[in-house]
Structure 1
Amino acid sequence: MMIYSTSLQDLPSTDVLVVGSGSAGATAAITAARLGVATSLVERYGFMGGISTQVLDTFYGFFTPGVHPRKVVGGVPDSVIEELFKRNAAIYRPNTYGAGQGITYDPETLKVVWEHLARQAGVRLYYHALVVDVLSEGAEIRGVVIASKTGLYRLSAKVVIDASGDADVAARMGVPFESSRDGPIQSLTTTFKMINVDVARAKSVKKSELHAKMQQAEQLGYDLPRKEGSVHITPLPGVMATNMTRVRDVDPLDLTQLTLAEIEGRRQSLEYARFLIEQIPGYENAALGGFSIQIGIRESRRIFGEYRLTRADVLSARKFDDAIAQCGAPIEEHHAGQDTRWEYLPEGETYHIPYRCLLPQKAEQLLVAGRCLSADHDAHASVRSMGQCMAMGQAAGTAAALAVALNCQLREVPISKLQSTLRQTGAVLD
């Protein structure tokens, strides 16, 4: 632990502490609180949701792709979807681009939905709070130190769930990991919205036609690093959303590189918007209606856990005895080139995500959930879908609550008890 020149103030201790409120962290906190343990959540922004409300507008991973889609995520994630539809803020979107049927929503409404469900469950929220250190005794985490406008705070917990996306807590605990310093990682994307779109005409443009036009972009005078990507309908009239830009060869853990990536992502967004307005039917009177709050990071740290999910596990649809979730999403790698690499599981198949992938090596009473789980590069390119991040969060929140209730280590939580509790709360394990 660091030596501080400023004395630490104490926040109320908690049973379960969740760091980061993205799809994984928000679901973990809601789950743990619903299971009756005191739960606190620390978030560096002023709202919940992480990538789900900062960058993206579609939940993928709830359904398998292919001819006969199958729902493979349930439980607390269903509560999120139900609340969005109740507010007329979501639509089911067909498998247009290859990842399976999606659930597209209004991110502003989702911010309120996440908060509603968290507060309803009894989660104690701490916004505008950045974790800067860990409290530990040997290999066991005992809490974190957070920085805020009013100084540094100590927040003690019996169990900590690292849902920071970048495995910040795990890294500070000395958990081994891989990052861009060990090999290539996926490119970053700034998303943007187009407003005042003639949606009917824009929808009539086929994906193949859009991509063919992008292939001609250089000759037409446009600088488009990615020659494909998606632009899709939203629940809002006259609004289309994009996933097009590609900021490549960036270490998202590096301060300078990430700063330059944010600048480049907005530059590219303006160029893609110009391309749509000038070249694609339906966008003639449209305008860029806003950037994502931050650039979208697909991959940074991937921890080494008790088990490491592999490419072979994904493509062979492997099943595990300690399954806590399942995934049918393809490997979707946004590499540094102009296209995206897709590799699919056998038709209708899924693989299991083992509980051991959430258990970091060399740390006790700590779980990870979300895109920083223990997986190799290719497996990660499948399992990072937000539906699976929510399922992992639900599993982490359940395991944390059980460890508190049973007064045991996370590694001692009975798998049968974990799985039965998950099923009782609606999780889809098989």
Structure 2
Amino acid sequence: MNSAIKADVVVVGGGPAGITAAIAAGRLGAQTVLVERYGFVGGMSTAALVYPWMTFHTDSGEQVIKGIAQEIVDRLQANGGSPGHLRDTVGFVHTLTPYHPEIYQVVATDMLREAGVKLLLHSFVDEVMVSDGVIEHVVVTNKSGRTPIKGRIFVDCSGDADVAKLSGAETLQGREGDNRSQPMTMKFRMRGVDLHKVKAYMISHPEEFYSKTPFAELPDLPLTGVSGFYSQWKRAEVPINRDQVLFFAGPADDEVLINCTRVQGLDATNAEDLTLAEQEGRKQVLLMSEFLKRDVPGFERASISAVAPQIGIRESRRIKGYYQLSKEDVVEGRKFSDVIARSGYPIDIHDPSGKGVTASFIAGDGAYDIPYGCLLSANVPNLLAAGRCISTSHEALATTRLTPSCMATGQAAGTAAALAAAAGVKPQALDILQLQEQLKKDGVVL
């Protein structure tokens, strides 16, 4: 065992939530370590090609996610890595945010370095040491061997609640009743796509596309996303359990990201299941690309340009927290006194066993609050969660899992961890008004 690394705040998982958590903690003066298993940061946004980011806004166009998340978008724009927030031509949400994943990796690591964060790549947490119910340190395995990292506060941004599970924290998985999770998707890019031809077909065949597609605005909008081609999909009988074609334009002018493969009935926290999912996902990529080239207008000269390094995971484990966000909280647009983030993304459940997607939209002002209690482990007092593994129901997870929401909960968790470490208290004892004031000072919309 190598000598221990010491920190105030230890963040595990370098995805969007982990990046914002570590930046937030580092900027407040906390000695912060970020542990990431890949050789790059970005999580599902880079390792799984999850694209674009959806959404920073409500359905009416009010921006409810800002703070570090918006800083990242601003830095991407300044570096040619994003056009910023654009109208969603699928029509599911008001805006989406295209970005270049390779530029995002560099922007994020620059921001981490500027915040004084110690970044450990190629490092996997495989043990969590607990004493009297409190985490003392995590153990990472990497090319240097095994190294303990001691901390005061730990933030689980692994997506799969790995730290929580290893620490003995209570966790949940999947939907109530059968524990089934939303399907996994192997995403891939194609180049050589004629998006002008795609748009022309959409305008002349509106019945073939999602009912909320903004057809009246389409001639004047850049094409950002497409959901439909219903008859082509039905005739082709591709052996993938879904009911339509979904893809998003960019980053290049002739490039799209295909979100169509669907791997169901497997557990993303089980190594054998995950192995099967990777293999099945890559087979489906080839099936989808052949279908698109053969049957979909605009794809005649297209070819695969990239396949994600790993399959995309929508849902796995999540913590049991002080509060569990529910479907009713989301669709009723509920407000909480301990709000630490807001979101305008609707519930979007890809059926764990069927073909469809179930959507539930947000009432009122089009946004709901995420309370601080969703970030707090119910039984491990120095553990916070952010991103995909916060405390929610299966239904509510189908909105909080989206990247901008993950960025927002990450900033909140990192801020809370730094403030708690500085005050010498556990996160549960932190003054919520102090946390909220700091978040607002740092540009968060509450």
Provide the TM-score with structure 2 as the length reference. 0.91
Say whether 1:179 aligns with 2:173. yes
Residue 406 (structure 2) pairs with residue 389 (structure 1):
yes
Identity of aligned residues (%): 38
Equivalence map 1:304-323=2 (5 Å): 304-323=320-339
CA drift of 1:347 comes to 5.5
The amino acid that maps onto 1:24 is A
- Partner Cα distance (1:19, 1:133) in 2: 12
- Within 1, Cα distance between the matches of 2:142 and 2:199? 45
> Please, which moves more after superposition, 93-102 or 209-218?
209-218
Per the TM alignment, residue 220 of structure 1 is displaced from its structure 2 partner at its CA by 3.2
Q: Quote the residue 2:267 is aligned against.
A: 251
Trace 1:30-179 onto structure 2 (pairs within 5 A).
30-55=23-48, 56-65=50-59, 68-91=60-83, 92-97=85-90, 98-179=92-173
Residues 421 and 212 (structure 1 numbering): CA distance in 2 closer, same or farther, change over 3 Å?
closer
Give ranges in structure 2 of 5+ residues lacking alignment.
210-226
Alignment partner, residue 5 of structure 1: none
Give how far 1:221 is off.
5.5
CA distance in 2, matches of 1:105, 1:95: 14
Q: Is the 8 A contact 1:69 1:348 kept in 2?
A: no
What is the aligned partner in structure 2 of residue 264 from structure 1? 280
The secondary structure found in structure 2 opposite 1:132 is strand
Post-superposition CA distance 1:140-170 (Å, at most 9, x none): 1122001112311111011110000000001
Match of 1:17 in 2: 10
Out of 158-167 and 198-207, give the one that drifted further: 198-207
Aligned-residue offset at 1:215: 4.5
Aligned residue identity for 2:188: F
Residue in structure 1 matching 2:362, options 315, 320, 345: 345
Normalised by the size of structure 1, how large is the TM-score?
0.94
Amino acid aligned to 1:351: Y
* SS in structure 2 at match of 1:9: coil
Instruction: Identify the range of structure 1 (137-146 vs 38-47) with the bigger mean alpha-carbon deviation.
Output: 137-146
**Does residue 1:366 correspond to 2:360, yes or no?**
no
Structure 1 residue 199: Cα displacement: 2.5
> How far does the alpha carbon of each residue in 1:173-212 deviate from its partner, in whole angstroms, 9 at most, with x for none?
1111211495221111111101122222233342753666
Q: Which runs of 5+ in 1 are unaligned?
A: 1-7
Secondary structure class of the residue paired with 2:301: coil
1:202-213 matches, cutoff 5 A: 202-206=198-202, 208-209=207-208, 213=229
- Pairwise CA RMSD of aligned residues? 1.6
Who is 1:197 aligned against? 193
Would the aligned equivalents of 2:18 and 2:157 in 1 still touch at CA under 8 Å? yes
Contact 2:52/2:248 (CA < 8 Å) preserved in 1? no
Output one character per residue of 1:100-143: Cα deviation in whole Å (capped at 9) or x when no partner.
31101111111111111111111101000000011221111122
Distance in 2 (CA, whole Å) between partners of 1:299 and 1:223 is 23
Aligned counterparts of 1:26 and 1:400: Cα–Cα separation in 2? 14
In the comparison of the two structures, how many residue pairs are matched? Answer: 420
| Residue 12 (structure 1) shift | 2.5
Q: Distance in 1 between matches of 2:349 and 2:375?
A: 22
Relative distance call for 1:95 and 1:43 in structure 2 (3 A) is same
Q: Which residue of 1 aligns with 2:215?
A: none
Q: Which moved more, 1:97-106 or 1:283-292?
A: 97-106
Alpha carbons of 1:16 and 1:284: their partners in 2 closer, same or farther (altered >3 Å)?
same
Report the CA distance between 1:271 and its aligned residue: 1.1
Q: Which moved more, 1:225-234 or 1:25-34?
A: 225-234
Measure the CA separation in 1 of the matches of 2:279 and 2:38.
20
- Report if aligned partners of 1:217, 1:223 keep a CA contact under 8 Å in 2: no
- SS across alignment from 2:404: helix
Aligned twin of 1:293: 309
Runs (4+) of structure 1 moved beyond 6 Å? Answer: none
Which residue in 1 is equivalent to 2:238? 222
How far apart are 1:237 and its partner, in Å? Answer: 2.7
